[in-house]
Chains A and B, each alone.
Chain A
Amino acid sequence: MALTDQARAPAPQPGSGFGVFSRVPGAWWATGFILLLMPLVAGNFWLFQVFGWSFCLGIIALSLMFLAGYGGMVSLVQMTVAVLAGYVVAILGNSGVEQISVGLSWWLYVPLAILIATGFATLVGALAVRTEGIYTIMITLAIASAFFYFTRQNYGIFNGYSGFNLVVPPRLFGVDWRQPTAFYYLSLGGAAVCYAAVVYVSRSPFGLALQGVRDNPRRMASLGFNVTAHRIAAYAFAGVVAAIGGILLVWQTSQVAPYSGGIAAVIDILIIAVVGGIRRPIGAFVGAFIFVLLSTFSPDVLSAFGLSNERFKLVIGVGFLVVVFFSPDGALGLWERWRARRRSAVDPLTGKAVAGGGP
């Protein structure tokens, strides 16, 4: 609880939905343009492997951020929800395992995947909200492991240990969405939509009530809010986001197997969300980008320094520890503090870090 108690999101102004464009700071426009024009400069590897993967992981971490940051519930089951959506895509759509895959068309299996994964997330939520705070971590971790073991043992539906290969996005409007540039825009679009949705929901009456529930459930209950329903609804919404991320991820890796949702992957998502900064939605993507860069290039960097690249996990773990220790607010928090310090050096009167990084 403690972390999210401090981690109050910058107070959203009521009615900020109006005139959104004029309020968006210049830095955001610049970021948007750079991201849109990226394919002009970046190579295929960067587009598909670095950015595409970052967006997918970022969306999944975003769903965790939503639950943890606005709902005060750290759920480790988000990766599982995403992987389940991926499995549904593989089972109902096309894959290399022809005995199992049904081969429906995309406009059927994509909504079904989101629906099924959301249903699962809601169910888990209904179970998890019976407990609070740290209990939630344990229960969701246990459910995630149960799902992992189940998929590994079940051959009839989930194809057991091997999982599914050759799960590729459909050819639509004459575009092969697996091509790096196409996939880049697809995942960028998905990330933008999910980001906007999370920001919008967080400022909606529901989102505000959810933050109220996070800060003081008893008061909200006495005000007539149904605390349990709000929490379960938050799980459902986060489930939709995670499912979208999961579908994109299965298309990116083109395969899904039990280990995609194993304990390590589950913890990775938590690390991404925390390292990026669990207070703001954009933190999820920052964290994902850092994580992808590290896991892609750390072997090169480590061996350049004469270290064995087997120690990659150690780097990640120590980095995570440092962030949790010194900046509960993640990398974004560090950045803001640095800016605040610089600004305060210039003008101590307005030396507060506000507005700039807020959603």
Chain B
Amino acid sequence: MTEFARRNPFWSLVIVVLAAAFLWLIVAPWSPGLEETLGRKRVFLNAIFGGLTLGALYFLVASGFTLIFGLMRNVNLAHGSLYLLGGYLGYTISTATDQWLITFPVVFVLVALVGLLMQHQVFRRMEGEELRQTMVTIGLSVVLADLMLWIWGGQSYTIQSPDWLSGPATLPIVAGVGSNGAPIYMRFPQVRIAILIAAIVIGVGMWIVLTRTRLGMLIRAGVDDREMLAASGVRINYVFLAVFGFGAGLAGIAGMVGGTFQSLSPGEDTRFLLASLVVVIVGGMGSIPGAALGALIIGLVEQIGLVYAPTYSVVFTFLIMAVVLAFRPQGLLGAGR
């Protein structure tokens, strides 16, 4: 960070000023002139916070995707199917048991098993043939999508969150001033706050595992130079299995999260696959902090776009991706190739 500041003093200044202005927009009460140009503060705040939580969800999906890619150079285009599968399993299990929290580890394990199966039975057989692996994942996503349509049908499901997470919470942020002059505090759905916190915890946890543990060391070494790691006697297949299982499980959990604050239906798999693609392209392939940054940007852009320019809001994310590609093809935080 400091190195970046030393090398690019001008851009660092710009970033700091922008961040400060942004914080001021969130904390300070808005003047009437500002409200005129940007709309009501409540709307702005909701877009920002909505974008943060959406970004958190995208991060959960995309981090597994980027991890698998970084280590195995395998673009798993069936990643969206794992997301949807996790959601459906989560719905089925949490409806049967009425235990929302306990469903998470169960879904993680189940979807991770599917991931292990895929790695062990499919991708290991075509090691090094990246393109063929990618084709296989496309085929798998078509098959999985139809199987899920067969089992769960075309209707949509919503996973019910527990009572202690339902309804809105009041945040200590002033959203506006009431008619009697008293400040109105911002109200925001508790579920979304929980998701945001969970994503941060998972992200930090992953970062700690990657930087502080032996497994993390192996994974980082594998990302940098797979052949060298294998040559130094590490049984790289186990590392592959672990990472694939973990990435798949994470996608499954994300499916359950998405099923709770959005809903599950056929087609969501493609949507989240595309979201992950854009997130990792923007953030940088194979980089966890990149996935976090990309998810944050895409989530914010989607929500702000929906508020201020709804018609083309779905296109904006792709535009950002194209711009990043044009000026920094390896992604914002990707390693130079």
A interface residues, Cβ below 8 angstroms from B: 1-4, 74, 127, 130-131, 133-135, 137-139, 141-143, 145-146, 149-150, 153-154, 263, 267, 270-271, 274, 310-311, 313-314, 316-318, 320-321, 324-325, 328
A127 and B322 CA atoms in complex are apart in Å by 8
Q: Which residue of chain A has the shortest Cβ distance to B267 in the bound complex?
A: A263
Query: Is B314 close to A, CB under 8 A?
Result: yes
Tell me the interface secondary structure of chain A in the complex.
helix
A263 and B128 CA atoms in complex are apart in Å by 27
- Mask for B268-282, Cβ within 8 A of A = 1, else 0? 001000100110010
Q: Which of B124-145 contact A (CB under 8 A)?
A: 128-132, 134-136, 138-140, 142-143, 145
Please name all residues of chain B whose beta carbon is closer than 8 Å to the beta carbon of A318 when the two chains form the complex: 139, 143
- Pick the residue among A2, A3, A142, A267 that contacts B321 (CB under 8 A): A142
Q: Are B277 and A130 in contact, CB atoms less than 8 angstroms apart?
A: no
CB-defined A-B contacts under 8 Å, sample of 14? A1-B130, A1-B131, A131-B325, A133-B130, A139-B325, A143-B318, A146-B318, A153-B311, A153-B312, A271-B138, A310-B149, A317-B146, A321-B139, A321-B143
**What 4 new A-B contacts, CB under 8 Å, besides A127-B326, A143-B318, A328-B132?**
A146-B319, A320-B138, A321-B139, A321-B140
A311 and B148 CA atoms in complex are apart in Å by 11
- Mask for B140-171, Cβ within 8 A of A = 1, else 0? 10110111011000000000000000000000
A328 and B131 CA atoms in complex are apart in Å by 10
Q: Which residue of chain A has the shortest Cβ distance to B270 in the bound complex?
A: A263
B interface residues, Cβ below 8 angstroms from A: 73, 75, 77, 128-132, 134-136, 138-140, 142-143, 145-147, 149-150, 270, 274, 277-278, 281, 285, 311-312, 314-315, 318-319, 321-322, 325-326, 329
Taking the nearest CB of chain B, how far is it from the CB of A140, in angstroms? Answer: 11
Q: Are B325 and A4 in contact, CB atoms less than 8 angstroms apart?
A: no
Q: Are B145 and A313 in contact, CB atoms less than 8 angstroms apart?
A: yes
List the 8 closest A-B pairs by CB distance, nearest first. A146-B318, A317-B142, A2-B129, A321-B139, A317-B143, A3-B131, A130-B329, A314-B146
Q: Are B318 and A137 in contact, CB atoms less than 8 angstroms apart?
A: no
Taking the nearest CB of chain A, how far is it from the CB of B289, in angstroms? Answer: 19
Q: Which residue of chain B has the shortest Cβ distance to A314 in the bound complex?
A: B146
Please name all residues of chain A whose beta carbon is closer than 8 Å to the beta carbon of B325 when the two chains form the complex: 127, 130-131, 139
Q: Which residue of chain A has the shortest Cβ distance to B128 in the bound complex?
A: A2
Q: Which residue of chain B has the shortest Cβ distance to A315 in the bound complex?
A: B146
Q: Are B277 and A142 in contact, CB atoms less than 8 angstroms apart?
A: yes
Please name all residues of chain A whose beta carbon is closer than 8 Å to the beta carbon of B77 when the two chains form the complex: 137
Taking the nearest CB of chain A, how far is it from the CB of B1, in angstroms? Answer: 27
Q: Which residue of chain A has the shortest Cβ distance to B330 in the bound complex?
A: A131
Please name all residues of chain B whose beta carbon is closer than 8 Å to the beta carbon of A274 when the two chains form the complex: 135
A238 and B34 CA atoms in complex are apart in Å by 51
Q: Are A3 and B277 in contact, CB atoms less than 8 angstroms apart?
A: no
Q: Are B134 and A134 in contact, CB atoms less than 8 angstroms apart?
A: yes
A139 and B322 CA atoms in complex are apart in Å by 9
A115 and B244 CA atoms in complex are apart in Å by 45
Asked if A146 meets B322 with Cβ closer than 8 Å, knowing A134-B131, A314-B146, A328-B132, the reply is yes
Taking the nearest CB of chain B, how far is it from the CB of A300, in angstroms? Answer: 19
Q: Are B132 and A311 in contact, CB atoms less than 8 angstroms apart?
A: no
Q: Are A4 and B131 in contact, CB atoms less than 8 angstroms apart?
A: yes
Please name all residues of chain A whose beta carbon is closer than 8 Å to the beta carbon of B285 when the two chains form the complex: 135
A3 and B312 CA atoms in complex are apart in Å by 37
A270 and B315 CA atoms in complex are apart in Å by 24
Asked if A134 meets B73 with Cβ closer than 8 Å, knowing A263-B270, A324-B139, the reply is yes
A310 and B151 CA atoms in complex are apart in Å by 12
Q: Are B131 and A153 in contact, CB atoms less than 8 angstroms apart?
A: no
Taking the nearest CB of chain A, how far is it from the CB of B71, in angstroms? Answer: 14
Q: Which residue of chain B has the shortest Cβ distance to A76 in the bound complex?
A: B138
Taking the nearest CB of chain B, how far is it from the CB of A257, in angstroms? Answer: 17
Q: Are A153 and B314 in contact, CB atoms less than 8 angstroms apart?
A: yes
Q: Which residue of chain A has the shortest Cβ distance to B125 in the bound complex?
A: A325
Q: Are A267 and B132 in contact, CB atoms less than 8 angstroms apart?
A: no
Q: Are B139 and A131 in contact, CB atoms less than 8 angstroms apart?
A: no
A270 and B134 CA atoms in complex are apart in Å by 12
Q: Are A149 and B132 in contact, CB atoms less than 8 angstroms apart?
A: no
Asked if A313 meets B142 with Cβ closer than 8 Å, knowing A133-B131, A134-B134, A142-B281, the reply is yes
Q: Are A134 and B138 in contact, CB atoms less than 8 angstroms apart?
A: no
Please name all residues of chain B whose beta carbon is closer than 8 Å to the beta carbon of A267 when the two chains form the complex: 138, 142
Please name all residues of chain A whose beta carbon is closer than 8 Å to the beta carbon of B270 when the two chains form the complex: 263
Q: Which residue of chain B has the shortest Cβ distance to A325 in the bound complex?
A: B136
Q: Are B314 and A314 in contact, CB atoms less than 8 angstroms apart?
A: no
A270 and B77 CA atoms in complex are apart in Å by 14
Q: Are A324 and B136 in contact, CB atoms less than 8 angstroms apart?
A: yes
By CB atoms of chain A within 10 A, which of B130, B132, B135, B318 has the most?
A: B135
